[in-house]
Amino acid sequence: MKQTLFALFIVCCMFSTLFGLEWRNQDSKELGYSLSYPAKWTVMSDKPDDFSVCPSEDTGIKAKTYIRVAVTPLDKVDALPALGSIREKVFSQFKEYAKSDSITTFQILATLDTEVSKIPAYYVITHGKIKGTDMYFRFTYLRHNNRLYQIIVVCPKSKFEELSTLINVAEGLFSVR
């Protein structure tokens, strides 16, 4: 039994070290998280409802690679639109954020419509390529309990798959809180 508990403890430590996920709180407001890749990411904004993280210089990733997460309490937004209209909503939001009409690919990768405490939880993942660049984007739109989450990842094609693996972990943490 002791060996099993010790092994479980080691696995948990390895998981937290491997993915380097950290939560920061200030005045009980969640400001975000950082991802080790392999070093710490830097939080670019301390606004509790809108923050970005960028990689440290020693990661070898271009500065334009970033993750942005916008968190909006549901009392600040209207009811979430029907799933059929989310695609265009997310697309327009990303185009506005990227200030670009050059996005050539846009595809919903997954959707989930469930009930969490009788509140609908929608989960939409999109990704695509920005024309004229080697940059790819991944946009996750998540409603869970009393918050909306928009997670944007922009990175070079060569890093997209590796970074998406880390983002899967982050999105999983958002979805179970």
Q: What digits encode the pLDDT tens for the residues 65-85?
A: 455 555 555 555 444 444 445
Any idea what the CATH number is for the domain that residue 36 is in?
A: 3.40.1000
If DSSP codes are grouped into helix, strand and coil, which group holds residue 132? coil
CA count, 13 A, side-chain hemisphere, 31:
14
Q: How far is the C-alpha of 117 from the C-alpha of 155, rounded, in Å?
A: 35
Tally the domains of the chain.
1
Long-range contacts at 112-118 (CB < 8 A, ≥ 24 apart): 113/83, 116/144, 116/145, 117/145
Please, which residues bridge with residue 93 across strands? none
Supply the DSSP symbol for 103. B
Q: How far is the C-alpha of 154 from the C-alpha of 100, rounded, in Å?
A: 13
Q: Which domain, by its residues, includes 139?
A: 2-176
pLDDT per position as a tens digit, 11-62: 344 333 333 333 332 222 233 333 333 333 344 444 444 434 444 444 344 4
Q: Tell me, yes or no, if the pTM score tops 0.75.
A: no
What is the distance of C-alpha 157 from the center of its chain?
Answer: 17
